[in-house]
Amino acid sequence: MAAILGFGAMKSVSTAEPSISYNFEVRPLLASKCFACHGADAAKRKGKLRLDDGAVALEKKAVVPGDPAASLLLERISSTDEDEVMPPPEKHDPLSDAEKNLLRRWIAQGAKYEKHWAFIPPVKPVTPVVAGVSHPIDAIVGDVLAKKGWLPAPEADREQWLRRVSLALTGLPPSIQDIDGFLADTSAEAYERVVDRLLKSPHYGERMAIIWLDAARYGDTYGRHEDADSEVWPWRDWVIRAFNENLPYDKFIQWQMAGDMLPNATQDQVVATAFHRLPVQSNESGSDPDEFRWDQVFDRVKTTSTAVLGLTLECSRCHDHKYDPITRRDYYQLAAFLNNIDELGLFSRFTNGIPTPTTFVYKEDQQAQHQKLKLAVEQAESEWNSARKQAAGRYAGWLKGNQPPGTGSGLWASLSGLGQVPRKPALPREPELYESFDLVDLKQRAFLIDSDPSVATVGTIKTSEDLTGKFGKACVFPKDKPKKYGVPKLAHYLRWQPFSFSLWFRCGKVPEKGVILHRSRGGLDAANRGYEITFESGKLTATLGHFYPGNAIRVQATDDLDFKEWRQIGFTYDGSSRAAGMKLFVDGKELPVKIIRDHLYKDIDYLAEWGDLDSVKVADATAKEAIMLQIGGRNLDSGIRDAAMDELRAYDAELSTAEMALLGGAEAKEDNPGWIDWYAREIDVPAKNALQKLTLARKEESDFSTHLTEMMVMSEMKGPRRNTPMLVRGDFRQPGECVQPGTPAALLPFPKDAPLDRRGLAQWMTDPQNPLTSRVEVNRIWAMLFGRGLVATQEDFGVQGRVPSDPALLDWLAVHFVESGWDIKALCREIVLSKTYRQSSLPFDPKTRKDDPDNLLLASGPRFRLPAEQLRDAALAASGLINPAVGGRSVKPYQPAGLWEDSGTQHVYEQDTGDKLYRRSLYTFWRRTCPPPTMSVFDAPTREFCLVRRESTLTPLQALALMDDTGFLESARVLAEKLVRQHPQMAEQNDRVEDAFRLLTARVPTEVQKKAMSTLINEARDHYTKNPKDAATLLSSTGASKADESLSAVEVASTMLMTRALLSSDAFVSSY
Amino acid sequence: MHCNRYAGTRHLTRREWLGATGYGVASAALASLLGGGPTAQAHHGLPLIPHFAPKAKRVICLFMSGGMSQLDSFDYKPVLKEREQQPLPASVFNGRKPLGMSKLQANFPMQGSAFDFKQHGQSGAWLSDRFPHLAKQADRICFLKGMVSEAVNHDPAIIYINSGDQLPGRPSMGSWISYGLGTENENLPAFIVLVTKKGADQPLSSRLWDSGFLPSQHQAVPFRAGSEPVLYLNNPPGLPQSLHRKMLDHLREVQQDELARRGEAEIEARIEQYEMAFRMQTSVPGLVDVASEKQQTLDLYGPDVRTPGSFAYNCVLARRMCESGVRFVQLYHPGWDHHGLLKTAFAETSKEVDQPAAALLHDLSERGLLKDTLVMFVSEFGRTPYSQGALKEGGEYGREHHRDAFTCWLAGAGVKTGITHGATDDFGFDVVEGKVTVNDFHATFMHLMGIQHDRFVYPFQGRDFRLTDVAGKLVKEILA
């Protein structure tokens, strides 16, 4: 009601009948009572009547402007007939007389419809003239108060304002020096000086970041199922930096939406896009990647619309929005902008691989170094190419006295058809691994490896199995039961190494999906780390991957192949990390392939450094499943059945087509061009050197990238956009018509010059004419400073949201903000220096509080409980324990033992030590399935989804946390030590109390309070003097920092009771 | 819908909402709290709730986490045994693709249960021989054999049955109850969670008992095994309770002086909050003192009962909490995700659960509590009638997740006793009668608590949300 009065007052209508605002009076009423059946949702619409659309209402004669009697709306709401009256009685939601009267008067006044207020671009209101007030904020607020006949509250005490503004802008309380300095500064600029100091502090960025971390659902883990660590803190660092450097808000949004697409994007611009990679992800085996990929997209739409536009679009996923002018098509058009990255939708279960797309986050000169190494690879590649060409010239000469192996008679010829079984691998290249499957250890029931018969391939052989192979025995994969063999130790190839495989293969029917061989840890959701030769969609496929799909190379045979008879399968790779460097062969002939993925930039190994081996302890990763070359199947994947394999060879070189032809039983005469490659690789010294140099350069680049920080970011897929179908009922299994990217037309047309991608979306969002973006941001800042937004529903500016408590003030701020160049620091400065903000939190007349309990009219200053982070930080600051370092990896301060361990997420909480325990709370590690309890208990969100407004509750658990959490206790103890050190004499006890008050509440205690706390110290001293052991126990059991043994334990313990009490006092936990 | 009583808009901030509905607060002074301020914890529910006289005053929910196999517990399917290892007929799939991990499976051999089934009680309910104690309680139980879910992975499914939605963010069922009905005991939370302390096979995230968009005081307070049942309950060593009390008294003097000068209701609320915390500190140790139970009673719950954190121990605690007026107690017992080695593992997990769950029914009944306490035995989904992978040595097998049919049961207040509602086909694959969706299940248990599910909404982000989303039908057939 206050809101409506406030607005009415603004209009200064002088007639007896004030004009009724459709937007602020009529529409909210219609929305609550009528729009469900007579609104935008065509499916639910009754009698084809829309009351939200003036034209339809007019046409249907629901409203006849100026003539209530003729208006059917009035007739129906006034009816006493149960079948006629609206809303229908079964809704149990009748209109009151006042509401009916409002509608009647609105129609009488002409039934003027307006577009919803928040969808009309803000216009700067004329600042009212109010005596003694110069600032527009104060003038607008003062005008409302004056019309109400209220006086503003007196100015807050200086100490109170200083504490309020220090916490508001830096999240930290003022020190005693700050307080004394401010009290002593009687100059006219004293207040401004404080504000400028605070805005310059690096802690300003930290404080501002927290609000955005909530909105962006920032956490340190992926959030679902096994909830592994996600390493996205570089994004948090960027947010802090952006605020500290006062990046204009339009840029702040543009970078996060599309920084990667800006011309010559800087690292910061790319890192900023991690904003869109923070939706929770799962890693459960058997998850459908499509389902979980859609969840990512849905969450991007939700977060973007809630955090930036103040709109809730979730309902339009399934149907047109019932209240706001957002259609289902609008929803999917927005989704289409955010649906074009090469992502899996899941994180990996078997590795700590970063879900793609990703970027390296370079430190110091790492980027230059990396660039240098990449150039060295390019250089070495070109040297190798020319060396090979030159070698080709020398090959003819070499041929005169020599012959390539295998072109005459001998073992190689035997391979190509003479039927002898080569026990020993032979020239032209020794395989690293040769497995004929002829040697069987019947005791172990396993095959022995020919190249090292002491090594058995893991697996069991049934003696009843028919082991007839292409040559001698074969490895058999039965029809009914999956079977796989591991080959330990050998064929551990990396992305910089050339390598090749050859094997003979037979199977009844080519499976849709089946693993022929691989070196990885698991299928389905392992994101395909390692190398593998598989059937995918029934086609022969080879993949090298760090994290599939975005960090991998994959080629796939274009033809369907039949393996009913024994055929050779070959694979070669040149170490280039490029799909073009991969070849597939059958029967010695190279297959035409299609490139499926071509972006590999991190190694395909499993490393402890990356946390692949021990971060998530997977139950099925037994020794048997340790990472090794495996044939015929894979953990959590489909193997091959009704099949057999023979003559498996692995080479640590890229075999030439000539060699592969021989291995495939085909001919390779000496004029086969493949022999030139063989010659260059094996014989020609300059070429051999060039190849060695190239391999070394690739290794160096790969090793360098291994140690880089990598993070999820946005990056558009190459080629055509991914289709975005409108999903029926939002169900990923029911794709409908496809849509192109687009923005809701009802809000603002898409800029003509903007590209139809994320850049354009960002441009549309930050267009000065966008009616929402600036209002939402100034409202967010206002809520941060006053504890309540001018629009109370910060998350919803739509028709169902609250109307602004002071529309003129909101619009003045919004327009002013855009005019200032979206300058957030300037906006904060403006507000905290206003008389409105500087008011005492106690109103001039206490009775006004009754009329306006939410302080909508701003007749007093803000009062609210400190957010969770500020409570802990203020305690750390007061005690002096705080570690003021800015930025960096998250830390693990005190937490009750066992919380993670008991949760089944298989994570162990390893509490940090030393000064990491005292870092500011925004650096506390945030496990989204089990958030830090001292934060949760004070209403911090779980960060699993976007939240732009925290509740403020009051529960006994909060009291327990303040009094008994190790962190708060340690602050109480260390503060007590400080006080005893400064005021060692018992006679100075009151000074201790006074200093504690000033440190914790910025003001001096009253005599009553001083006495109460002094008495507490005395009583505690009585106890601890009698029980000195208790004192020692208390001091030694409150935190990791060492107790100061030079001080009297009794004095410190007694004083600590006082500091512990004050840490719980309302004056400490509140800002007022 | 009561929220509409407030003119202007349905979308209120929580404070406005409280003001509009006359939210029950502990002290009259709190009604005039200032902007964004706190409210007292002792919350006695919403004024219009219950909508009608409730049958159940409180709930104990026994949650079998991991997806308990209905086919090895309560849904007896002899056909699977008779035709074991034969492929499940394609007609059963009826065009649906197998989901989850088994989508890679080449064939789907039927798998009978390794356990014997017998009928029990007058009702003749079928139970496998893994539940000898529950079998004796069969006539108290109402089996729901037609449960269906929509999710087939643990994470979405377990959130779904706890909150009515597969994505995180909605309030859990216990939070809704806490919010709607409030607490009966000012010293204890309305919603308490107890998780069996054992190696969990599937993660149990705090979101399962989170309050979502409801005020956060309605999230469950997890009680933990060990010396500190509630986080931060214990004063630090070296600070005796008597001195702690003195501290509180002097703190109260400080705050009262503040209150006298400023007259702000927050201060008063905070003073009261500390007193409540103190009462919790003094009442909780007694509550969790299971040792004070009679030997005879403890014996009922089986040998694990003296191990803090065991399911048996938690069942005794749950009963004690019920007696103390806790509205919603939820026990989580992990260990049901039997993709393999079901024969051994199911036997172990059921042994941990059977006797304590049966004892709980018996004990509640003996004390006259069962007539107004609803006991729910729930899992997030069931398991497939075909084996996951091939039959292994020793008759071992596994079953994949299955969402199209599973069994839950109810007992106690307002529920028909000794009945089975719903049935599956011969293979236990599909529900053929008495289908109960997750939303129906929620609608029904809320009805038992006197709540009409579609009238109990919370306005959030432009929409009236409810536990049953946009669906939910009361399962009238099971109401006594």
CA dihedral B289, B291, B297, B298 (to 10 degrees): 110
Neighbours of A372 (CB within 10 A): 13
With CB atoms and an 8 Å threshold, state whether A904 touches B264.
no
State whether B205 and A227 contact (CB < 8 Å).
Answer: yes
The label of the residue with tokens 């793609």 reads: A356
CA distance B404 to B410: 19
| Residue B43 pLDDT | 63
Q: What is the pLDDT of residue A94?
A: 87
Paired with A590 in beta bridges are: A585
Q: Chain B closest CA to A747's CA: distance in Å? A: 17
A417 — pLDDT class (breaks 50, 70, 90):
very low
Q: Categorize the per-residue pLDDT at A23 as very low, low, confident or very high, splitting at 50, 70 and 90.
A: confident
Cis peptide before A87 (omega within 30 of 0): yes
Q: How far off is chain B from A930, nearest CA to CA, in Å?
A: 6
Comparing CA positions, the residue from A550, A452, A437, A603 lying closest to residue A504 is A437
Instruction: With CA atoms as reference, report the closest residue to A949 among B437, B15, B441, B159.
Output: B15
Q: Transcribe B57-117 into DSSP letters.
A: SEEEEEEEETT--GGGTT---HHHHHTTTSBPPHHHHTTPPP-GGGGG-S--BB---SS-E
Q: What is the DSSP letter of A918?
A: G
B216 vs A953: CB contact, 8 Å cut-off?
A: yes
Output the pLDDT for position A637: 84
Looking at this protein, which amino acid is placed at residue A357? P
The total number of residues written for chain A in this structure: 1072
Neighbouring-strand partners of residue B433: B423
Token readout for A1021 is 């001293």
Q: Which of A404-418, A658-672, A812-826, B222-236 has the highest mean pLDDT?
A: A812-826
* Closest among B201, B200, B194 to B360, alpha carbons compared: B194
Q: Which residues pair with A1071 in a beta bridge?
A: A864
Distance separating alpha carbons of residues A568 and A563, to the nearest angstrom: 9
Looking at the predicted structure, is the pLDDT value of residue A907 above 50? yes
Q: What span, in angstroms and rounded, lies between the C-alpha atoms of A79 and A71?
A: 12
Q: Which two tokens stand for residue A859?
A: 């007749």
Radius of gyration of chain B (CA): 24
Q: What is the mean pLDDT of chain A?
A: 91
Interchain CB contacts (distance < 8 Å): A and B: 332
Is the bond preceding residue A357 a cis peptide, omega within 30 degrees? yes
Beta carbons of A490 and A650 less than 8 angstroms apart: yes
Q: What are phi and psi of A524, to 5 degrees?
A: 60, -60
Q: Model confidence at A408, in pLDDT bands (50, 70, 90)?
A: low
- The DSSP element (H or E) to which B18 belongs, if any, is helix B14-21
* Minimal CA separation from A174 to chain B, in Å: 21
Res B21: pLDDT: 35
Please give the angle made by the CA atoms of A710, A713 and A714, to the nearest 5 degrees: 150
CB contacts, 8 Å: A1064 with chain B = 251, 274
Amino acid (one-letter) located at A259: G
pLDDT at residue number B20 = 36
Select the residue from B33, B155, B183 to test the A interface by mutation, using most A Cβ atoms within 10 A. B155
| Structure-block tokens of residue B367 | 């004390």
Give residue-wise pLDDT tens across range A188-237: 999 999 999 999 999 999 999 999 999 999 999 999 988 999 999 999 99
Decide if A475 contacts A645 (C-beta within 8 A): yes
d(CA A92, CA A647): 79
Q: What is the DSSP string of A14-75?
A: -SSSPPPPIIIIIHHHHHHHTHHHHSS-GGG-STT--SSSHHHHHHTTS--TT-GGG-HHHH
- In degrees and rounded to multiples of 5, residue A383 shows phi and psi of -65, -40
A482–B389 CB contact, under 8 Å: yes
Looking at the DSSP assignment, which residues form a beta bridge with residue A353?
A: none
For an interface test with B, the pick among A634, A642, A960 (most B C-beta atoms closer than 10 Å) comes out as A960
User: When comparing pLDDT for A153 and A464, which is higher?
Assistant: A153
Q: Which residues of A fall within a CB distance of 8 Å from B38? A: 865, 952-954
Distances (CA, A) of A270 to A275, A338, A362: 10, 15, 12
Total length of chain B:
480
Tokens of A721: 């956009």
DSSP, collapsed to helix, strand or coil, labels residue A855 as coil
Cβ of residue B7 closer than 8 Å to a chain A Cβ: yes
Q: Do A951 and B216 count as a contact with CB atoms less than 8 A apart?
A: yes
Residues of B in contact with A854 (CB under 8 A): 15-16, 34-35
pLDDT value at residue A524: 61
Which CA distances in Å does A433 have to A450, A856, A998?
8, 78, 75
pLDDT tens, chain B, 480 aa long? 232 222 233 334 444 444 333 333 333 333 323 222 333 334 678 888 899 999 999 999 999 999 999 999 999 999 999 999 999 998 998 888 777 777 767 788 999 999 999 999 999 999 999 999 999 999 999 999 999 999 999 989 999 999 999 888 899 999 999 999 998 888 888 999 999 988 666 778 888 998 888 887 888 999 998 889 999 999 999 999 999 999 999 999 999 999 999 888 888 888 988 998 999 999 999 999 998 999 999 999 999 999 999 999 999 999 999 999 999 999 999 999 999 899 999 999 999 999 999 999 999 999 999 999 999 999 999 999 999 877 777 889 999 999 999 999 999 999 999 999 999 999 999 999 999 999 999 999 999 999 999 999 998 877 789 999 889 999 999 999
Share of chain A above pLDDT 70, in %: 95
Given a contact cutoff of 8 angstroms between Cβ atoms, the answer to whether A959 and A1064 are in contact is yes
Q: What is the mean pLDDT of residues A154-183?
A: 97
pLDDT tens profile A597-640: 999 999 999 888 888 865 434 434 444 457 889 999 988 888 89
CA end-to-end span of chain A, whole Å?
Answer: 25
Structure tokens at B196: 């069996």
- When CB atoms are compared, the residue of A284, A965, A1009 closest to B257 is A1009
The dihedral through the CA atoms of A724, A726, A732, A734 has a sign that is: negative
- Cβ pair B9:A801 closer than 8 A: yes
| pLDDT for residue B49 | 86
Residue contact B232–A1030, C-beta within 8 A: no
Higher pLDDT, A909 or A416: A909
> Is the CB of residue A859 less than 8 Å from the CB of residue A150?
yes
What is the DSSP track for A557-601?
ESS----SS-EEEEEEE-SSSSGGGEEEEETTEEPPEEEEEEE--
pLDDT of residue A455: 82
Number of neighbours of residue A2 by Cβ within 10 angstroms: 17
CA A26 – CA A99 distance, rounded (Å): 9
Q: Tell me, what DSSP letter sits at residue A273?
A: G
CA distance, residue B33 to nearest chain A CA (Å) = 7
The predicted model gives A272-277 an average pLDDT of 98
Instruction: Give the pLDDT confidence of A419-444 residue by residue, as tens digits.
Output: 444 444 445 688 899 998 988 887 88
CA distance A837 to A778: 15
What pTM does this model have? 0.89
Tens digit of each residue's pLDDT (9 = 90 or more) over A710-755: 999 999 999 899 999 999 988 898 999 999 999 998 899 999 999 9
What distance lies between CA A565 and its chain's CA centroid? 51
Strand partners, A547: A551
Q: Name every chain B residue with its beta carbon within 8 A of the beta carbon of A1.
A: 8
Task: Write out chain A residues lying below 8 Å of B7, CB-based.
Answer: 29, 32, 96, 98-99
Tens of pLDDT along A1038-1067? 999 999 999 999 999 999 999 999 999 999
- Residue B335 is predicted with a pLDDT of 92
A752-775 per-residue burial string, b: 16 or more CB within 10 A, e: under 16: eeeebbbbbbbbbbbbeebbbbbb
Nearest CA in chain B to A1034: B238
Q: Which residues of chain B from 326 to 345 reach within 8 Å of chain A, CB to CB? A: 334
Mean pLDDT of A576-582: 98
| pLDDT confidence of residue A525 | 65
Q: Are β-strands A475-477 and A643-651 bridged in parallel, bridged antiparallel, or unpaired? A: antiparallel
Task: Print the SS3 string covering B265-322.
Answer: HHHHHHHHHHHHHHHHHHHHHHHCCHHHCCHHHHHHCCHHHHCCCCHHHHHHHHHHHH
Distance set, CA B450 to CA A475, A956, B180, B413 (Å): 66, 28, 10, 11
Q: What does A353-402 look like in DSSP terms, one character per residue?
A: PPPSSEEEE--TTHHHHHHHHHHHHHHHHHHHHHHHHHHHHHHHHHHHH-
B205, B239, B250 member nearest A903 (Cβ)? B205
